[in-house]
Amino acid sequence: MLTMPVRQLGETERSAVMRVLDSDPFATAQVAERIAAHGLSWWRSDGRIYGYGARRHLESLLWSGAHLTPILATPPAVEAFAELIAGEHRICSSIVGRADAVLGLWDHLAGTWGHPREVRPNQPILATGELPPVRPDPAVRLAENAEIDLVFPAAVAMYTEEVGVSPLADGGGSGYKRRVAELVRSRRTYVRIENRQVVFKAELAVVTSHTAQVQGVWVNPAWRGLGIAAPAMAAVVTDALRRVAPTVSLYVNDYNHAARRVYARCGFRSAGTFATILF
C-alpha cells in the first residue's frame, strides 16, 4: 500500500507545481517551458503531470509525454511512479532527468518495458551565468528565416549523430522540419555559415525565466579540429545571457571529452548529472 498515492495534477495546483520546478531550474527546464506555454490541463498540453506527496506539500513530480521525466523524485516517489505506469503501454521515446531518479525508475520498469536502445547513465549538467572568458566568434549569428533550408540538413546530421537514428525515419521528417523552422523563427538558432554551408549550429531549445538550455550543438565534420567550437559557443552564451535568460545550461554525454573541454573553456560549471534511457 502506498501511504501517499500518486495523482494527476490539474491547473488548480499549478502554483505548487511551479514551486517544485523552480527549486531545480536546470534539470526541470523542459517541463517548466511546456507548463508555462500550455498549463496543466491535459487537453491543452502534450503530456500529463503526476504528483507525489500530501496535497499541501507536493514533494515530487512525473511528466509523462513524448519523454518521461521524474522531477525531485525521492525513492518512495520513484517506486510510486513506477507502480502507476508499469502496466501501461510505453508511449515515450525516452526517460530523461536527474540520474538517480531516472535510473531508479528504470530499475522498476525494465522488466515490463523491455530492452532500451541505449542507456546513458552519466550526462553532466552544466550551467553558467557569466560571460565567457573566450572571445566570441563574430561570424556566429542568429539564423534567418530564409536560411531554414540550409539549417535543416545540419540539424538532421546533428540529430542522427547524437541520437543514433535519423529524425526522418518513420515519416518524422515533416515534424522535425517544423521544429527546426520554429526555432529559427523564434530567434533561437545560431549558425556560422561559410559558402552557403553551415559549419556551426546550436539552438536554445528550451527557454524559461531561469535559464536558456542549449541543445543541438554541431560542428561540420570538415571544420572539426580547427578550433572554431569554443569561440562559437562563447558567441551563443554571450547573446543568450544578454538577450534571453540569466543563465545558460546544457547537458552532455560524459564520454564526449572534446565537447566538455569546449564548455569548460566557456565557463560552464557542474550542476549535477542527468541520465537518459533511449527507446
pLDDT, tens digit (0-9, with 9 covering 90-100), for 133-187: 999 999 999 999 999 999 999 999 999 999 888 998 877 688 999 999 999 999 9
Predicted confidence (pLDDT) at residue 201 exceeds the cutoff of 70: yes
The tens digit of pLDDT for each residue in 39-78 reads 887 666 688 999 999 777 899 999 999 999 999 999 999 9
- pLDDT of the residue at 57: 87
Q: Which residue has the higher pLDDT, 87 or 98?
A: 98
Per-residue pLDDT, 2: 47
**Phi/psi of residue 65, nearest 5 degrees:** -160, -135
Confidence of residue 114 (pLDDT cuts 50, 70, 90): confident
By the 8 A CB rule, do 244 and 212 touch? Answer: yes
pTM (predicted TM-score): 0.92
| Mean pLDDT in residue range 7-17 | 92
Give the E-state strand segments of 7-82 in sequence order. Answer: 7-8, 48-54, 57-64, 67-71
Q: Which residues pair with 276 in a beta bridge?
A: 96, 120
Instruction: Give the C-alpha separation, 163 to 155, whole Å.
Output: 12
Place of cell 499549478: 14
Residue with cell 501501461: 88
Work out the pLDDT band at 119, boundaries 50, 70, 90: very high
- Residues 140 and 236 sit within 8 Å (Cβ to Cβ): yes
* pLDDT score recorded for residue 174: 87
- pLDDT score of 1: 46
Beta strand pairing call for 48-54 and 248-251: unpaired
- Write the DSSP assignment of 135-195 as a string of letters: PPPTT-EEPPGGGHHHHHHHHHHHHHHHHSS-TTGGGTHHHHHHHHHHHHHTT-EEEEEET
pLDDT of amino acid 27: 96
Query: In the structure grid, which three cell numbers stand for residue 103, read together?
Result: 535510473
- The per-residue pLDDT for range 218-227, each reduced to its tens digit, is 999 999 999 9
Average pLDDT of the chain? 94
Task: Determine the Cα–Cα distance for residues 148 and 177; give it in Å rounded to an integer.
Answer: 9
The 8-class DSSP code of residue 109 comes to: H
Gap between the Cα atoms of 214 and 251, Å rounded: 8
Q: Each residue of 73-93: pLDDT tens digit?
A: 999 999 999 999 988 889 899
SS3 31: helix
User: What is the pLDDT averaged over residues 108-112?
Assistant: 92
Residue with cell 515515450: 92
pLDDT at 274 over 70: yes
What is d(CA 58, CA 79) in angstroms, rounded to the nearest whole number? 16
d(CA 67, CA 247): 24
pLDDT of residue 87: 82
DSSP 197: E
